[in-house]
Structure 1
């Protein structure tokens, strides 16, 4: 059994690790079930013969069908991009709880529109519903990770934010297998493809029911000058009385951090925007966070998620049932990898090593697949069964999933939810989520054309990008595991190399704990003082 170890930044009462903090995190990250399902089911749904027949797509050429399928998939990402941006004002004015509730309501509306589509309406309702669902998912992908980051104790923050990735993969597994199930048990016709579209209503409806029961983020409440409400919410989440020393220390640290951040550019809707773009250090973090999502998409993950039947056909898998079955197995491996990452990797090994190992292993697998296709040319020798070489290519594809899932799949979301100050976090997370969906849009929009034009070169392309990501992570991405949110400025101190930052800051925190021990004073209360920040400016 996996040991869920915790390394604490300070002595923590056991009551802090209670069912409430986990339940709040699970409800919020259930938004990712919507995301995972929508990302997985659409590529296989539009490949069903019943869907093509319903909307008159069987008469189209390969080029024409590629264009329509790319439009159906990419409309969703376009909606997600703008939804992530809208998530900033929603999160700022409504908070995390009601922001997630609104996102779920909009999602249900978009999903209902898609279920109303038919041959008589054409693809218009599909396109419109995909855009509306995308708007909801974009906002939810902004709000859910920052909410969890703001309520989580530091020792299990990576694990709780990782629930977002786990829920994403649970939704993905259902999305990958739903079409396999309907092709086996539902006769070809409108009902066959409609079931997969209608299942979207389930996770959306469950978040509509669950979001009102969330405890609002104490950090957001303090940022809105509702300090008393923040203490009540924190007391409920931590399962500690309001006068407990641990709670007083954490509340004081949050208030000090928010006060300091507000002083940089003032309060108000545009204050965080001014804070970010007037501070070179925060602009650098913005670029680093956005780049992680660029590298994540450079692995080829969204090409696989949205066009898995095309991927497996290029390797030599023939037949609808075989393609959907192979895709379903891929989804299960992703889920298991995410579970391993969540329960052990992210908070034990940290962010940097997992990204580097994921890139090394993933690149080797992609190079092997490219070599197989280049040599065996399975597209020129179609067969009802896979050759031994084809089976080895599938095995390496699954091995690629084993490397990718516990590394690049969720780690960028954890990193970007951690590294920005509270006063800017809603805005910066909107930028991060928008970055993710922008890169996903580009991949989804052009993947069909890439496979037509490049063949096995697509795999060489993604493998080479994974190799290039390794020195980027090594030299520019600092480790953030176990670091309190209020100490993230220390990690990015000028002159402190990224590869040494974690060790130096953890030593500093431990020294402060020893220095303050027995003096009745909180080390967290001086986090934002200038002299404490200057102590981190070492080479």
Structure 2
């Protein structure tokens, strides 16, 4: 127990809580929209919209989708904040932004316009955190455990997503259909995020960001605390020296260096393909509304949580990114999701070990420090844009291609592009990524670098 680095663990746990706003929005808040108390307060009952069904459909769609609208802008804002103010201050800023938006949502009390404004406001914060948190985690981790550390973000995300469904189920069963019902459901996440915000004042900022701002003494001090080593430690000095060497050698713009362009396109492709992999089509795979909705969605979330945790602890740093990703894509097939409700969980196992985490991991580890924040923030903006696009066009795609053809289409995209382009990055230090990617794009699958 004496060798356990509790301070490093504390940093990882606190920063991983940046996943809570996104996942609780997709689990707790999204499910609370279906509670009778929420429907009564925001006039979402079908009986009030007879003859104007399209008006009701638009109202139902706007409340959740406005959060995604804020998401894209939140990622863009993160471009400026993460590099200028630092990873830690950005984390606090976006956390406060989301908490303010959530409080507005909770107390909007049936005022539809205020709810939409609050959804955009909260979306800015929640999705800004999807940039700040994984970026922070990747920069404080060692190369040998970076996959595990960044994957913890997804474990926290899926934990609260799953909890959100069951909190809704409990509120629906045991609380009266009044405002307190949905307010309680939506406010639960504020407890955990508030605690994380307070704890963040005891967290060390990213040594790589500090070094990029020529704050070498602070970078060494931060790294020594994170590595549980003396300031004079040879390992700490070597790690800082490698970081500084990369910073001094790379001062050109992204577009001016072939390696930078290639990394940017790889991370961008990963985010696009992850959205076009069928992972957002749970409803079409066999679970849609009815009495089974909350329980089945909660069980679906548990399976995602379990296998993402297994992936984080046993696969991503041992078997590597490519092998896990391609195995997951292979498991996720249309016949599995067609067979029965139970078979849907085979489908989600593939998602958990394939593209659930790897898309975040690639985006945070392949860029040099100076441009990591900008590139990853742009990647996440594209992530949210394509997530909105996929949700919007999926029904039409299924009608045009038939469901099995659509899944085959997604599988081909994943295998062709990612199978050729994506290199194996496990145990490769961030400072050696340029050597790993120094090959034609179609030979990425064969790329190697001496560790």
In 1, distance between residues paired with 2:298 and 2:94? 28
Q: Choose the corresponding residue for 2:422, options 471, 477, 494.
A: 477
In 2, distance between residues paired with 1:203 and 1:76? 20
Show the counterpart of 1:374: none
| Native 8 Å contact 1:114 1:125 kept in 2 | yes
| Native 8 Å contact 1:110 1:133 kept in 2 | yes
Q: Could you say what secondary structure the match of 2:332 adopts?
A: helix
| Native 8 Å contact 1:82 1:135 kept in 2 | yes
Q: Choose the corresponding residue for 1:251, options 221, 237, 240.
A: 240
User: Structure 1 length as normaliser, TM-score?
Assistant: 0.78
In 1, distance between residues paired with 2:53 and 2:287? 14
Show the counterpart of 2:108: 117
Show the counterpart of 1:398: 345
Show the counterpart of 1:47: 34
In 1, distance between residues paired with 2:57 and 2:408? 24
Does residue 1:152 correspond to 2:99, yes or no?
no
In 1, distance between residues paired with 2:352 and 2:294? 20
Question: In the superposition, relative to structure 1, how do residues 334 and 459 fare at CA in structure 2: closer, same or farther (>3 Å)?
Answer: farther
| Native 8 Å contact 1:100 1:140 kept in 2 | yes
Show the counterpart of 1:4: none
Show the counterpart of 2:308: 338
| Native 8 Å contact 1:295 1:466 kept in 2 | no
Show the counterpart of 2:436: 491
Q: Which runs of 5+ in 2 are unaligned?
A: none
| Native 8 Å contact 1:166 1:339 kept in 2 | yes
Question: In the superposition, relative to structure 1, how do residues 312 and 187 fare at CA in structure 2: closer, same or farther (>3 Å)?
Answer: farther
Show the counterpart of 1:318: 290
Does residue 1:137 correspond to 2:141, yes or no?
no
| Native 8 Å contact 2:287 2:341 kept in 1 | no
Does residue 1:435 correspond to 2:382, yes or no?
yes
In 1, distance between residues paired with 2:85 and 2:58? 39
| Native 8 Å contact 1:107 1:204 kept in 2 | no
| Native 8 Å contact 2:276 2:410 kept in 1 | yes
Q: Following TM superposition, by how much is the alpha carbon of 1:51 offset from its aligned partner in structure 2, in angstroms?
A: 2.0
In 1, distance between residues paired with 2:346 and 2:105? 35
Show the counterpart of 1:79: 70
In 1, distance between residues paired with 2:309 and 2:141? 19
Show the counterpart of 1:208: 197
Question: In the superposition, relative to structure 1, how do residues 97 and 335 fare at CA in structure 2: closer, same or farther (>3 Å)?
Answer: same
Does residue 1:67 correspond to 2:63, yes or no?
no
Q: Following TM superposition, by how much is the alpha carbon of 1:111 offset from its aligned partner in structure 2, in angstroms?
A: 0.3
Q: Following TM superposition, by how much is the alpha carbon of 1:211 offset from its aligned partner in structure 2, in angstroms?
A: 1.6
Q: Could you say what secondary structure the match of 2:341 adopts?
A: helix
Does residue 1:279 correspond to 2:257, yes or no?
yes
Q: Following TM superposition, by how much is the alpha carbon of 1:301 offset from its aligned partner in structure 2, in angstroms?
A: 2.7
Deviations 1:202-252 (A, max 9, x none): 233123212221101111111111111111111111111111111111111
Deviations 1:292-311 (A, max 9, x none): 1122112333343xxx5x76
| Native 8 Å contact 1:298 1:466 kept in 2 | no
Question: In the superposition, relative to structure 1, how do residues 115 and 300 fare at CA in structure 2: closer, same or farther (>3 Å)?
Answer: same
Show the counterpart of 2:92: 101
| Native 8 Å contact 1:277 1:283 kept in 2 | yes
Q: Could you say what secondary structure the match of 2:342 adopts?
A: helix
Q: Could you say what secondary structure the match of 2:428 adopts?
A: coil
Question: In the superposition, relative to structure 1, how do residues 327 and 441 fare at CA in structure 2: closer, same or farther (>3 Å)?
Answer: same
Q: Choose the corresponding residue for 2:330, options 356, 360, 370.
A: 360
In 2, distance between residues paired with 1:166 and 1:207? 16
Q: Following TM superposition, by how much is the alpha carbon of 1:68 offset from its aligned partner in structure 2, in angstroms?
A: 2.4
Q: Following TM superposition, by how much is the alpha carbon of 1:62 offset from its aligned partner in structure 2, in angstroms?
A: 5.3
Q: Which has the larger radius of gyration?
A: 1
In 2, distance between residues paired with 1:466 and 1:73? 28
Q: Following TM superposition, by how much is the alpha carbon of 1:25 offset from its aligned partner in structure 2, in angstroms?
A: 1.4
Question: In the superposition, relative to structure 1, how do residues 35 and 118 fare at CA in structure 2: closer, same or farther (>3 Å)?
Answer: same
In 1, distance between residues paired with 2:229 and 2:63? 49
Q: Following TM superposition, by how much is the alpha carbon of 1:425 offset from its aligned partner in structure 2, in angstroms?
A: 0.5
Q: Choose the corresponding residue for 1:329, options 299, 303, 308.
A: 299
| Native 8 Å contact 1:104 1:207 kept in 2 | no
Q: Following TM superposition, by how much is the alpha carbon of 1:454 offset from its aligned partner in structure 2, in angstroms?
A: 3.1
Q: Choose the corresponding residue for 2:406, options 461, 467, 470.
A: 461
Does residue 1:501 correspond to 2:447, yes or no?
yes
Show the counterpart of 1:28: 15
User: Structure 2 length as normaliser, TM-score?
Assistant: 0.93
Q: Following TM superposition, by how much is the alpha carbon of 1:351 offset from its aligned partner in structure 2, in angstroms?
A: 0.8
Show the counterpart of 2:209: 220
Q: Which runs of 5+ in 1 are unaligned?
A: 1-13, 266-274, 371-391, 510-539
In 1, distance between residues paired with 2:141 and 2:104? 36
More moved, 89-98 vs 339-348: 89-98
In 1, distance between residues paired with 2:421 and 2:414? 10
Alignment RMSD, CA only?
2.2
